[in-house]
Amino acid sequence: MSDFSVTILGCGSAKPSLRHYTSAQIVNHRGNLFLIDCGEGVQRAMLHNGISMHKIGHIFLSHLHGDHCLGLVGLISTLGLGQRTGKIVIHACSDAETVFRPLFDFFCPQLSMEVEFQAFDHTKSEVIYEDRSLEVLTIPLHHRVPCAGFLFREKQKPRHLLVEECQKYNIPTAYYQSITLGNDWTDGNGTVIPNASLTTDPSPSKSYAYCSDTIYAESIVPVIKGCDLLYHEATFANDLAATAKERGHSTALEAGKIASLAQVKQLVIGHFSSRYDGDGETELLAEAKSVFENTELAKERKIFEL
């Protein structure tokens, strides 16, 4: 298993169905769990997936439609009952704290942990989270309400050290980290050993883009360009393109077009309207594949490794 994966907890749209839970996903990066969206039933979906909800440190809400956030109060309540300490950060548009803070106060007044809201500006792409190896950027989307997608992008990884080469030049191990960052080595005689002799290229940095909910918007292409995995909503088939646009959604064909324009490596489509059964979703897949071959359907419990 890779150290960067996406688990689908729910990929249905607003109207409830037995096929799907509403929107929620877990991004696991080196054991750090990030929750994207938090539809009703998210706790049950995590139990189904064997995911320890207490390990979630950051929650990212794309927008404040119920099917993307109505599981939040129950989740925070459970975490707060379960000896979760420290802090949990909710990244969302500024209305989120106005809506949810009173609910946390009412339904879970004695939380064992701190809940912090960090508001983002959904109109521009900016870094809203970073740690040593990962950063998360917003992706401005176009929906009926303020909405952003999220780009999870690994930072450049350290170069691979050629230990035997370093030993040949008697480089002290204390300098190894500096060399993995690309620095040359100058020995006691002033001779410069170029970094290229001491290291090889690092593993590629991977990136994952979550884009839901949104109309077809080529404006997102520069932000997600070349990402390894793109989750793009495909609420409808293209015969309902007008409906999709009117409701702020995309069609499967449009998701494929975005994937193609952005030259991503793999596309996953989701946020399916409940009007589509298994056969209907197969048709959505075929539609997306007609413009972008490497496409998969989202499905609860599927894990996509980057």
Catalytic residue IDs? 67
- Report the alpha-carbon distance of residue 258 to residue 245 in Å, rounded: 15
Q: Does 106 bind a copy of itself (CB under 8 A)?
A: yes
Written as one letter, the residue type at 303 is I
In angstroms, what CA-CA distances link 180 with 29, 66, 157, 195?
Answer: 21, 46, 9, 8
Q: Does 64 bind a copy of itself (CB under 8 A)?
A: yes
Q: Does 47 bind a copy of itself (CB under 8 A)?
A: yes
- Contact (Cβ atoms closer than 8 angstroms) between residue 106 and residue 139: no
The number of angstroms, rounded, from the C-alpha of 143 to the middle of its chain's C-alpha atoms is 18
Q: Does 55 bind a copy of itself (CB under 8 A)?
A: no
| Shortest spacing between CB 46 and a copy of itself, in angstroms | 9
Between 82 and 101, how does the x/- string for binding to a copy of itself read (CB under 8 A)?
Answer: x------------x---x--
| Shortest spacing between CB 279 and a copy of itself, in angstroms | 19
Q: Does 249 bind a copy of itself (CB under 8 A)?
A: no
Closer residue to a copy of itself in complex, CB, 104/208? 104
Q: Does 111 bind a copy of itself (CB under 8 A)?
A: no
Q: Does 119 bind a copy of itself (CB under 8 A)?
A: no
In which residue are the tokens 């879970």 written? 108
| Shortest spacing between CB 104 and a copy of itself, in angstroms | 10
Q: Does 62 bind a copy of itself (CB under 8 A)?
A: no
Written as one letter, the residue type at 24 is A
| Shortest spacing between CB 73 and a copy of itself, in angstroms | 6
Q: Look at residue 208 and give its three-state secondary structure.
A: strand
By residue count, the chain amounts to 306
Q: Does 107 bind a copy of itself (CB under 8 A)?
A: yes
- Contact (Cβ atoms closer than 8 angstroms) between residue 95 and residue 119: no
| Shortest spacing between CB 230 and a copy of itself, in angstroms | 28
- Contact (Cβ atoms closer than 8 angstroms) between residue 41 and residue 70: no
User: Which alpha helices (H) appear in 155-206, and where do they start and end?
Assistant: 163-168, 176-180, 195-198
Q: Shortest CA distance to 148 belongs to which of 130, 118, 122, 125?
A: 122
The number of angstroms, rounded, from the C-alpha of 228 to the middle of its chain's C-alpha atoms is 12
| Shortest spacing between CB 300 and a copy of itself, in angstroms | 12
Binding region for a copy of itself (CB under 8 A) out of 65-73, 113-121, 182-190, 254-262: 65-73
Q: Does 40 bind a copy of itself (CB under 8 A)?
A: yes
Q: Does 77 bind a copy of itself (CB under 8 A)?
A: yes
Binding region for a copy of itself (CB under 8 A) out of 43-51, 125-133, 159-167, 239-247: 43-51
- Report the alpha-carbon distance of residue 306 to residue 298 in Å, rounded: 15
The maximal CA–CA distance of the chain, rounded, in angstroms, is 74
User: What are the residues binding a copy of itself (CB under 8 A)?
Assistant: 14-18, 40-41, 43-44, 47-48, 64-67, 70-71, 73-74, 77-78, 81-82, 95, 99, 102-103, 106-108
